Structure 1
Amino acid sequence: MATFFLIMIYLSFISLGLPDSLLGAAWPVMQAEYGAAFGMAGVINIVIASGTIVSSLMSGALLKRLGTGQITLISCLMTAAALLGFSFAPSIIWLLALALPLGLGAGSVDAALNHYVATHYQAHHMSWLHCFWGVGATLGPIIMSGFMHDHDLWRNGYFTISLIQFALVVLLAFTLPLWKRMENIQSHAVKESQAQPSRGRSEKMLQTKGVKLTLLTFLFYCGAEASVGLWGSSFLVNVKELPAALAAVWVAMYYGGITVGRFITGFVTFKVSNRILIRSGLLVSFAGASLLMLPLPTYYSLIGLLLLGLGFAPIYPCMLHDTPERFGKEQSQKLMGYQMAVAYTGATFLPPLLGWLAAQTTVSILPFFIAFYIVFMLYGSERVNRIMKQRIAQSETI
């Protein structure tokens, strides 16, 4: 039963990943059809992520009232309906209206499932969980590019993805009793863990040393990942002069790098710590951004995108899994929701900011901004590592 439940969690993360890369892959064609400004994709992205931020912050209260199973079912249903609406949207105004339920459908389930896995499973499951998000994020632009290859049928791409989402809704509806059963087991385990003392119990969460820097690292990570996903295709079309359909495939390879990297990371975690994996991922991703910055032949851009994906792969799941270890299990549930909200804040504001700047200058600034984000993340991660070492040393001397 526990294994089947874990499979359902994995499938739910495919659902989370499918819509995330669609807008960026289809935007060069959608922009021309609607006659929209280049930066309008950033505005749509703001609305999507704003809904996700709100639902992330409300995740604790919603979970207590509805439970993980119902939250997952409702979220997937909202996402499927919004994607179906995208496929018929007659104007940008409709896209903006549908973007809100698309975002609301992601936040609560993301925070809930991440906390469950971080608390009850080992590090390799967290990497594989986000690997399945990568499966969805990779399939999205591949499906979209298939419809745009000859006839620019981006609407058919959105329609197809919505059907996949509705199929998962049906599966979740049939397995809802299993979710309720596992939630009861989880609730009993949480009560037992709260009966034991945990680190940081007497400290206010946001005043805990290292928390704010960790939140900033989440903000810049999701900003970087989303910026490449949203503007990568436009960068390849406008700077490298690739056809839109081929650019969508190359962006899919970026998400493929994230997916494969997280699958491999799941095995590596048996031998290598989360902290080393985060550091290595940041260095690899910086190498990828550097290849995009340099005036090299076009195929080096594909290598750069792959390195960005592979480098990004371990960062997010390893940081999430380290949350209970760094700040204590008692604080981790609430902090997980904060991390989701801040992460989506980065995904909300940094890509459209970059899009606005690109509209004023050139989209070739993309890799320079990504490199800056990576450097900040490296600083923040290493600084938090030092704080954790100091805390351990102090506790051992007491």
Structure 2
Amino acid sequence: MTNKHSWQALTVFTLSYIFAALAANSIGPLAPFLQEELGFTKGNIGLFTASIYLAAALSGIPSGWLADHLGVRKALVIGLVIQAILTCGLLTGLLPWMLLFMFLSGIGYGVVNPATGKGVMVWFSSTLRGTAMAVKQSGFTLGGVLAGVILPPIAVLFGWQKSILTAVGLLFLGAFIAYIFCPTKQDEFIQNKTENENKPNSSNSQPSSWDRKAIIFWSIIMIFFAAVQQAGTTFLVIYLVEKIGYTRVAAGMFFSLALVSGGIGRIAWGWVSDFWFKGDRKKVLIIVGLIAAAMCIILGFVPAGINPVLLGLIVFLFGFTAIGYNAVFLTLVAEVAGKENSGKATGLSLTIAYLGAIFGPPVFGLIVDFTHAYLVAWLIFGGVLALATLSTIFYRFKLSTSSYQ
């Protein structure tokens, strides 16, 4: 069932995710400033990403429960406000405190994805669900784009602290929009009740119908996708500054290009999975994973002085796949679990998948620090992703009865 409230809800979900992702991705574009002013190493920079995603992982299951029981709007507002307040702690400028507050802000950030994912399951039918999830998930990449475009210039003009305050202000704006415009829990209940009454087989949809093994399997595979995504977005700016010789602002524009292409990829792959592959999310994820692995390896061989257009094409394809996979994955998980359990299932899957976001950036940074070569890190991450993707060819699973409602 899709109506005007569906599109209103999707708009709110996307805007909320834009603002949450901008704050969560703020360290990558600001990394050169933090290195110069505070003396942070590449390993230190990687720890920031690890901190926020560790908290998001730990809060994933409780966040899913929150969305299932309190409703999408309340959960979303709570998450954004928590993230906004605790992001202010980054202003201390002291590494231990900054890491602590980055971690704590991740508790709020961890609420946004399960809540909005639950909302998409509630408000959209299976024929549009992949596309709607893709539009919502494009908010992550759009938030990263805004981070890459606006935060470095603000840092150049006014200092990196003002960039952090900008991110905080946008989080509060997102919470306000969600509170005012997000459809209420009562609206969700009415829509669920109407759909269930029109679906004679909906009574078969019980928590026991979860294919938990499928959810866990795909979540483990997504660890490697998340590791490549977060390591790439965390270190792309530094890589282009140190290896290619771009200015920090120019490198930030390539960072934004990767995220723009990731947003386009999320929508494109979601549409492809809905209409070309008729809901077969697995085949789409295999295609995306293999292309992403190839682009990761190619990035490692990029020479200094490369043609900017060719570099832009490589970065575009990297973002289109290594960032663009996310919506198809979340749609798959939600469909396996069904509407009633989509919040908890999404929380569980993200708890597992976020391990890649937690360990990927610091491991990538440590490899570079130890070997003094980005090539080794790119090759390892690309090779492991390719192997993980190929392993999915041999896995079969069954969708929940309620996944088609």
| TM-score > 0.5 by shorter chain | yes
Tell me whether 1:103 sits opposite 2:106 in the alignment. yes
In the TM superposition, structure 1's runs of 4+ consecutive aligned residues that sit over 4 Å from their partners are 189-195, 324-333
Shift in Å, 1:376: 2.9
Q: TM-score, normalised to structure 2's length?
A: 0.84
User: Which among 252, 257, 260 is matched to residue 253 of structure 1?
Assistant: 257
Equivalent residues of 1:46, 1:348 under 8 A apart: yes
Q: Contact 1:257/1:309 (CA < 8 Å) preserved in 2? A: yes
DSSP-derived class of the 1:19 partner? helix
How far does residue 103 in structure 1 lie from its aligned partner after superposition? 0.3
Deviations 1:119-170 (A, max 9, x none): 542211111111122211111111112224x558222222222222222222
Tell me which moved more, 48-57 or 292-301.
292-301
Distance in 2, Cα, partners of 1:155 & 1:345 = 29
Q: Which residue of 2 aligns with 1:172?
A: 178
1:290 is aligned, of 278, 282, 297, to: 297
Which AA in structure 2 matches 1:279?
Answer: I
Asked if residue 162 in structure 1 is aligned to residue 168 in structure 2, the reply is yes
2:267 matched to 1:263? Answer: yes
Q: CA deviation at 1:212?
A: 3.5
CA distance in 2, matches of 1:324, 1:79: 25
Offset of 1:189 from its aligned partner?
Answer: 5.9
TM-score, normalised with respect to structure 1 = 0.86
Inter-partner Cα distance in structure 1 for 2:173 and 2:64: 27
**1:13-52 maps to which residues of 2 (within 5 A)?**
13-52=17-56
1-structure distance, mates of 2:223, 2:148: 24
TM-superposed CA distance for 1:98, in Å, is: 1.5
- Aligned length, in residue pairs: 382
Looking at structure 1, the residues matched to 362 and 393 of structure 2 have their Cα atoms a distance apart, in angstroms, of: 28
Cα distance in 2 for partners of 1:329, 1:171 equals 25
Q: Between the two proteins, what is the percent identity of the paired residues? A: 19
Q: Which amino acid aligns with 2:71?
A: G
Matched, 1:278 2:285: yes
Q: How does 1:171-320 map to 2 (within 5 A)?
A: 171-175=177-181, 178-185=183-190, 188=193, 196-198=203-205, 201=208, 205-206=211-212, 208=213, 210-273=214-277, 274-296=281-303, 297-298=305-306, 299=308, 300-320=310-330
Q: How far apart, CA to CA, are the structure 1 residues paired with 2:179 and 2:270? A: 29
Partners of 2:272 and 2:208 lie apart in 1 by 32
Note the aligned Cα RMSD (angstroms).
Answer: 2.8
Q: Structure 2 unaligned segments of length 5 or more: list them.
A: 400-405
1:248-299 deviation per Cα after TM superposition (whole angstroms, max 9, x unaligned): 2211111111012223345434531234432332233234223312254433
Displacement of 1:230 after TM fit? 0.8
Alpha carbons 2:292, 2:322 under 8 Å: kept: yes
The answer as to 2:374 corresponding to 1:369 is no
Determine the structure 2 residue equivalent to 1:126: 133
1:141 corresponds to which residue? 148
